[in-house]
Amino acid sequence: MELINRPRRLRGNDVLRKMVRELRVDKSSLIYPMFVREGSNIKEEIPSMPGQYRYSIDRMEEKLLELRNAGVPSVMLFGIPDRKDEAGSGAYAQDGIVQRALKKAKQVCPTMYLIGDVCMCEYTSHGHCGVLCGHEVDNDKTLELLAKTALSQVQAGADMVAPSDMMDGRVSFIRRVLDENGYSNVPIMSYAVKFASSFYGPFRDAAGSAPSFGNRKSYQMDYHNRRESWKEAMLDVQEGADIIMVKPALSYGDLIREIRDRTNVPVAAYSVSGEYSMVKAAAQAGFMDQTQVMCEMATGAYRAGASLYITYFAEELAKCMDEGMIG
């Protein structure tokens, strides 16, 4: 048969396939979400996330060094306090759980890049992401507390802050407060395109952050909406966001691509707890190959346009990158 174009010519062996690979990634793009809690000598497995743990501050070092040795350069810290109140005061306390964890992490692993998650849901007695007015989150009153949280994290050692609350105007408010306090060089990674998703269930178990009433649909986005994601991303860029995040990753590759094409800042994709737990459960049941699926999911996010990939599989992916299975 006379065929001039034969795409299979470039698929003949592993060397050639890698030579013409369109997408190349490396470990510098990986960010690991890490849970820290009050107490001592605690490494507590999270039931809904097999293989993931809550660490007390004195046990953080072992995980940080493990990540560093694997080549994962960055962690994002989530705090689990012992006490909560209506104002979420533990989020912005100078001696809060994340603030102390940041200081400890800087001591034991100074080369690790530290990102503080800026939100209040883990710290409020009601589980919502801000202060309440009746049964609604008061957007504007919450902004001041979010900015206090971001500032306290940077003062404790955070290299970057990542507001995840979805309050309107929080990026500009945080940017102004950081700048006024001499931290104009600290970047903000905004959870700009964050959907009200069912994929967050295991995280809420891990962090104890499920709302005590209602849901978060009045501030997190409706996953039916495409154009609204552009609006959220562009507003946050205008307000000073240095990186835009799309969350979750798995079901939102179209929006990762569109945000990448429509903005001039890096795009992060957060492969959330539900994505991790689904793969784990299916692999443990023998239905899927965990490593292959994990690599395929990550490749999909990178191919869609993500420059940064936040994932509980960061350490495993780093190993796969070393072995040439991805990237």
Question: Count of alpha carbons within 13 Å of 3, Cβ hemisphere only?
Answer: 6
Q: List the helix and strand counts (H, then E) for the chain.
A: 11, 12
Q: Which residues pair with 78 in a beta bridge?
A: 35
Which value, to the nearest 10 degrees, does the dihedral of the CA atoms of residues 214, 217, 190, 115 take? 30
18 in catalytic set: no
Question: What whole-number distance in Å separates Cα of residue 197 and Cα of residue 219?
Answer: 12
Closest CA to 162 of 268, 64, 235, 82: 268
Active-site residue, from 63, 84, 104, 247: 247
Six-digit token string for 230: 């552009």
**290-304 and 273-284 helices, crossing angle to 10°:** 150
Q: 3-state class of 91 per DSSP?
A: helix
Active-site residue, from 194, 217, 280, 319: 194
List, in order, residues 6 or more apart from 11 with CB less than 8 Å away: 17
Helix (H) / strand (E) containing 84: none
Q: 3-state class of 272 per DSSP?
A: coil
Sign of CA dihedral 64, 69, 72, 74: positive
Cite the active site residues: 194, 247
